Amino acid sequence: MPLTLYFHPLSSYCQKVLIALYENDTPFERRVVNLRDPADAAAFKKVWPCGQFPVLQDGDRAVPESTVIIDYLDQHFPGKSRFIPADAEQGRQVRAKDRFFDLQLHTHMQKVVGDRLRPQDRRDPHGVEQARAKIDVALGMIDTEMAGRSWAAGDHFSLADCAAAPPLFYIDKLFPLADRHKNAAAYLNRMLQRPSYARAIEEAKPYFSMLPI
């Protein structure tokens, strides 16, 4: 039975998983979820009651969480790109980077974008200001690190790059990276040259008008 990905092309966490799938040309069926459609959202919640995508379905097993999905793909559907090094120490470094990009960058990007989608009287300017400050700290760290490396966790493409590119892309749309974070901007450009990520972005483009940025 083929894999099925529940996702939306515009979703940054879904792009994280699409990069991994496209890296290895892993076959899968696409199930685009429209959370704004109550019937579609309810159908998706039967698969994953938390209602967040991406979710990968493999037979009767539903695998939520982008990091776990990529780990699952690496274990069960390995291809030419390996996402988590077998070496324990290198693997730990890649996982640590993945956590960094999700928790110190992606979460805060979502806060800024999510706030713009709220009605004017339900916005949270203080929370957005805090998120922007945290994004700035993370970008400074990324910029310093990327001065000396090609990929997010070192010399090899990995899970960390799948995690890094989508939030950097949307942050670049909000606050252009090239102004203050040239190494981060160059890294994002490298990612955009990579066919797997270029494809994910091409597929998201028809939906860009839905973005509040």
Ligand X SMILES: N[C@@H](CCC(=O)N[C@@H](CS)C(=O)NCC(=O)O)C(=O)O
Confirm or reject binding of residue 65 to ligand X (CB under 6 A): yes
Q: The tokens of 78 are what?
A: 């390995």
Report the alpha-carbon distance of residue 149 to residue 121 in Å, rounded: 44
Please report the DSSP string for 42-54 in residue order.
Answer: HHHHHH-TT--S-
> How many chain residues are in contact with ligand X, going by CB under 6 A?
11
Confirm or reject binding of residue 53 to ligand X (CB under 6 A): yes
Stretch that binds ligand X, among 64-72, 88-96, 115-123, 188-196 (CB under 6 A): 64-72
Confirm or reject binding of residue 54 to ligand X (CB under 6 A): yes
Report the alpha-carbon distance of residue 205 to residue 209 in Å, rounded: 8
Please select the residue that binds ligand X; options are 57, 66, 158, 196, rule is CB under 6 A. 66
Q: The tokens of 172 are what?
A: 């670049």
Stretch that binds ligand X, among 65-73, 92-100, 123-131, 184-192 (CB under 6 A): 65-73
**Surface-to-core class of residue 134, CB atoms within 10 Å of its CB (0-12 exposed, 13-18 middle, 19+ buried):** middle
* Shortest distance (Å) from residue 48 CB to ligand X: 9
Residues within the interface to ligand X (CB under 6 A): 11-13, 35, 51-54, 65-67
